Amino acid sequence: MTTSRNRELAKLLARIADMYEFLGGDTNRFRALAYRKAAQVIENLPEDIASYIEKHDLQKVHGIGQKTIEKIREFLKTGTIKKYEELRKQVPEALIPLMDVPGLGPKTLRQLYEAFHIQTEDDLIHILKSGKVYQLKGFGPKKVQKILHGLELRATLTQRMLYWEALTLARTLLQTLQDRIGTLIQKSAYAGSLRRGKETIGDIDLLISASPQHHTTIIQAFTQLPDVKEVLAAGETKASVLVGDNRRQVDLRLIQPHQWGAALMYFTGSKNHNVRLRELARAHGWKLNEYGLFDEASNKRLAGTTEEEVFAQLNMQWIPPEMREDQGEIELALNHQIPKLVSIQDIRGDMQSHSTWSDGSLSILEMADYVLKHFPHYEYLVLTDHSQAVRIAGGLSPEQFRQQKEEIQKVNAELGRDFVKAGAEVDILPNGQLDLPNELLKELDFVIASIHSHFQRDNTDRIIQACLNPYVHAIGHPTGRLLGTREPYPLNMEQIIEVCAQTGTALEINGQPDRMDLNDQYARWAREAGVPLILSTDAHYSSNFHYMEIAVVIARRAWCTPQHILNTRPWQEITLWKQEKASKTQTYKTKRHF
Ligand code: DGT
Ligand code: CA
Ligand code: CA
Ligand code: ZN
């Protein structure tokens, strides 16, 4: 089952709505509403739109108009909607992507466009900063500040990609090359910040090892890949291109097979890590570069075919790429103390996911089916729908959680195993209290508490109060940041980690591509303080379950072994851990007279 097409279509329909709204007028406003509604319906369909539209009457079941349905069929046939191409020509091109910036909807942009004829982002920033904008209705310093801040945050992501965007792009490109000229390729890999698992990626660095006689053909195949928009450079052993609508830069370097290991190390970086390695080599009278490890005096080649070989020659253990940041890993490798980092194989289940009961797109059975098919080694899936305070996400009342538990039991009976666990993502209210009573929390298999409101204020106390509840097992997306759109709320993370350690509360590493929350640095602090971590995807769509890779990469950058991650344990052990957590919390509260 795929919903990526649904999302693409939903985005396109929402864009059409944006265009109509920007153009303005009563008829257009009405059209915008219709398209926006269709976008919402399609985003939440339980199955691919192509098969869904054949089985169901979209007009009768969802109230989508005939005209819109025609557009959907057009998309399914052609991959685009002509009307959209028509409409976007009537809107200054540079303004279209700005419609996603918080505080800058299509209506606000139109207002600015009509008053000041802005055509570009620079025009907009100029007007906002000049003060002229205050003549307009509804524009005060607060709103202007918000927009400017949103534009700044956006800029960070137009210059760099999210980890997941880069990873999927790199894999697609390598796979296409493999399909087209696979027989010429000996080895291929992505290197650079992507291989190290950084949260944002400047450009993608691809390496291919192949016999020199094939280099020209490979470079040609690379520059002719389907999504290449511009070739920046193409030489004999390297090329740079811009790919896709976002024009992401991808560099390719061709490596001779015997130099593969040295090149992979060199182009993986980080720069600081490489500097340290070269120093170590020099101390032996050797030199290390992208071609190999050589004796300085005789120029004799000592190693270079594989990374392992180079590290071994330097008397070191192989270092996982996620650790190559010169933060102490070199010393560990010299002492043969590199930890065995957690991998996706160690994960026994997903700890946060949403079904159609709240804002997810799949039923509980569909979720379980998908997960069992794609992650056959998982032993459990924790369902954590929202609680009632989170209205826009269709949060559940205590009564609904109890009804949901019955459905979970039915699904588990059908699966013949206790696979789905009844959890909740309980909202931490503004006053720090929880949105569900303890009587219910007690009955649940796992409770994650998260903040979904009041992002401006310092939320340390709210989170600490949640930790003090014996039935709260973990804090979800602890900092609340959204890469590219929202800063973390003010938080004293040291204090939170301390309280988590004392009360036995776990912290989540949320694998959503724009959350990655906790980040690597905080996760490292948490690990060092003995705070258990849970890895989760926060899945709302079937494809989201694959975000576990993201959570794992953050944990690896934090040097976590399976032991540091709660969901590497069988469920029975988690049950025992929950009791431990409850009693630890009680002890802490007694000691502190809470
Ligand atoms: P990014 O692309 O900004 O996210 O970060 P990286 O780490 O991928 O950096 P990038 O693409 O400039 O280079 C990839 C790797 O290649 C980098 O981590 C280390 C290596 N490298 C590239 N250029 C140099 C250089 O001039 N000197 C050294 N020592 N290493 C380099
Ligand atoms: Ca790079
Ligand atoms: Ca590069
Ligand atoms: Zn949440």
pLDDT digits (tens, 9 = 90+) for 201-239: 999 999 999 999 999 999 999 999 999 999 999 999 999
Q: Is residue 554 part of a domain?
A: yes
Q: Residue 44: its pLDDT value, please?
A: 80
Alpha helix segments (H runs only) across 26-138: 26-43, 49-55, 58-62, 66-78, 82-88, 106-116, 121-130
Cβ count near 60 (within 10 Å): 8
Q: Which helix H or strand E contains 152, and what residues bound it? A: helix 141-159
Q: How many residues does the chain have?
A: 594
- Name which residue sits closest to atom 2 of ligand 1, judged by CA: 202
Task: Name residues whose C-beta falls within 8 Å of residue 526's C-beta, 6 or more positions apart in sequence.
Answer: 497, 500, 507, 518, 533, 558
Pocket test for ligand 1, best of 193, 255, 268 (most atoms within 8 A of CB): 193
Q: What is the pLDDT of residues 287-309, one digit of tens each?
A: 999 999 999 999 999 999 999 99
Cα 252 to ligand 3 centroid, rounded to whole Å: 9
Backbone angles phi, psi at 295, to 5 degrees: -75, 125
Helix, coil or strand: residue 336:
coil
d(CA 515, CA 486): 10
Q: Is residue 339 part of a domain?
A: no
Q: Residue 7: its pLDDT value, please?
A: 82
- Name which residue sits closest to atom 8 of ligand 1, judged by CA: 192
- Name which residue sits closest to atom 3 of ligand 1, judged by CA: 202
For residue 565, the cross-strand partners are: 533
Cα 204 to ligand 1 centroid, rounded to whole Å: 10
Judge if 375 and 242 occupy the same domain. Answer: no
Contact 498, 492 (CB under 8 A): no
d(CA 96, CA 164): 23
- Joined together, the tokens standing for residue 128 give 């906002």
User: Prior bond to 358 cis, omega within 30?
Assistant: no
Give this prediction's pTM: 0.88
Pocket test for ligand 1, best of 165, 249, 266, 271 (most atoms within 8 A of CB): 271
Provide the percentage of residues in the chain whose pLDDT is more than 90. Answer: 85
Cα 433 to ligand 1 centroid, rounded to whole Å: 47
pLDDT value at 406 more than 90:
yes
Which ligand has its closest atom nearest to the C-alpha of 204?
2
The ligand 1 atom nearest the CA atom of 201: 4
Cα 317 to ligand 1 centroid, rounded to whole Å: 22
Which ligand has its closest atom nearest to the C-alpha of 478?
4
Judge if 406 and 356 occupy the same domain. Answer: yes
- Name which residue sits closest to atom 16 of ligand 1, judged by CA: 267
Q: Name the residue with tokens 């500097």.
A: 275
The ligand 1 atom nearest the CA atom of 271: 19
The ligand 1 atom nearest the CA atom of 204: 2
d(CA 13, CA 37): 9
297: burial class by Cβ within 10 Å (0-12, 13-18, 19+)? Answer: exposed
Q: Is residue 551 part of a domain?
A: yes
Cα 236 to ligand 4 centroid, rounded to whole Å: 49
Q: Residue 294: its pLDDT value, please?
A: 98
Cα 187 to ligand 1 centroid, rounded to whole Å: 20
d(CA 225, CA 243): 9
Judge if 277 and 173 occupy the same domain. Answer: no
Helix, coil or strand: residue 184:
helix
Q: Residue 547: its pLDDT value, please?
A: 97
- pLDDT classification of 440: cutoffs 50, 70, 90: very high
Helix, coil or strand: residue 12:
helix
The ligand 1 atom nearest the CA atom of 267: 16
Q: What is the pLDDT of residues 118-127, one digit of tens each?
A: 999 999 999 9
Judge if 214 and 362 occupy the same domain. Answer: no
Which ligand has its closest atom nearest to the C-alpha of 428?
4
Judge if 349 and 446 occupy the same domain. Answer: yes
Of the ranges 115-119, 150-154, 174-178, which one carries the lowest mean pLDDT score? 150-154
Helix, coil or strand: residue 504:
coil
Domain termination site, one of 134, 159, 184: 159
Pocket of ligand 1 (CB under 6 A): 192-193, 201-203, 205, 266-267, 269-271, 274
Contact 311, 333 (CB under 8 A): yes
Contact 537, 353 (CB under 8 A): yes
Q: Encode burial over 506-537: b for 16+ CB neighbours within 10 A, e otherwise.
A: bbbbbbbbbbbbbbbebbbbbbeeebbbbbbb
Query: What one-character-per-residue DSSP string does 15-31 give?
Result: HHHHHHHHH-SHHHHHH
Q: Is residue 66 part of a domain?
A: yes
Q: What is the pLDDT of residues 244-266, one digit of tens each?
A: 988 999 999 999 999 999 999 99
Judge if 236 and 127 occupy the same domain. Answer: no
The ligand 1 atom nearest the CA atom of 160: 4
Domain termination site, one of 215, 238, 255: 255
Please give the average per-residue pLDDT across 86-97, as a whole number. 92
**Which domain CATH number covers 521?**
3.20.20.140
Helix, coil or strand: residue 242:
strand
- Name which residue sits closest to atom 24 of ligand 1, judged by CA: 271
Cα 205 to ligand 2 centroid, rounded to whole Å: 5
Please give the average per-residue pLDDT across 488-492, as a whole number. 97
- pLDDT classification of 5: cutoffs 50, 70, 90: confident
d(CA 477, CA 216): 47
Judge if 407 and 542 occupy the same domain. Answer: yes
Helix, coil or strand: residue 426:
strand
Mean pLDDT, the chain, whole residue set: 95
Centroid of chain to Cα 325: 21
**Which domain CATH number covers 48?**
1.10.150.110
Judge if 364 and 219 occupy the same domain. Answer: no
Strand order in the sheet with 474-475: 349-350, 380-386, 420-427, 446-450, 474-475, 506-510, 533-536
3-state helix, strand, coil in the chain (%, to 5): 55, 15, 30
Cα 192 to ligand 3 centroid, rounded to whole Å: 7
Please give the average per-residue pLDDT across 537-560, as a whole number. 96
pLDDT value at 58 more than 90:
no
- pLDDT classification of 3: cutoffs 50, 70, 90: low
Q: Is residue 275 part of a domain?
A: yes
Q: Is residue 223 part of a domain?
A: yes
Judge if 419 and 550 occupy the same domain. Answer: yes
Cα 295 to ligand 4 centroid, rounded to whole Å: 55
d(CA 404, CA 338): 44
d(CA 374, CA 546): 9
Most confident of 9-13, 59-63, 578-582: 578-582
Domain termination site, one of 159, 194, 219: 159
Look up the domain containing 497 and give its range: 344-592
Q: What is the pLDDT of residues 131-148, one digit of tens each?
A: 889 999 889 999 999 999
Please state the domain count of the chain.
4
Task: Name residues whose C-beta falls within 8 Å of residue 64's C-beta, 6 or more positions apart in sequence.
Answer: 34, 37, 38, 41, 58, 72
Helix, coil or strand: residue 450:
strand
d(CA 117, CA 468): 54
Judge if 214 and 301 occupy the same domain. Answer: no
Judge if 272 and 218 occupy the same domain. Answer: no
Q: Residue 2: its pLDDT value, please?
A: 39
Q: Is residue 526 part of a domain?
A: yes
Judge if 509 and 406 occupy the same domain. Answer: yes
pLDDT value at 174 more than 50:
yes
Q: Is residue 357 part of a domain?
A: yes
- Name which residue sits closest to atom 18 of ligand 1, judged by CA: 269
d(CA 545, CA 374): 9
Q: Residue 60: its pLDDT value, please?
A: 83
Q: Name the residue with tokens 């990374």.
A: 307
Cα 353 to ligand 3 centroid, rounded to whole Å: 35
The ligand 1 atom nearest the CA atom of 269: 18
